Structure 1
Amino acid sequence: MKKLMTMTRQFRDDENGAAMVEYTILLGIITVAVIATIILVGGWVSGQWTGLYALLPVAPTPTP
Structure 2
Amino acid sequence: MVKDKLRNLDLNLLKLFSVVYQHRNLKRSSEVLFISPPAVSQNINKLREYFEDELFIKTTKGF
Report the TM-score, using the length of structure 1 for normalisation: 0.27
More helix by share: 1
Report the TM-score, using the length of structure 2 for normalisation: 0.28
Greater Rg by CA: 1
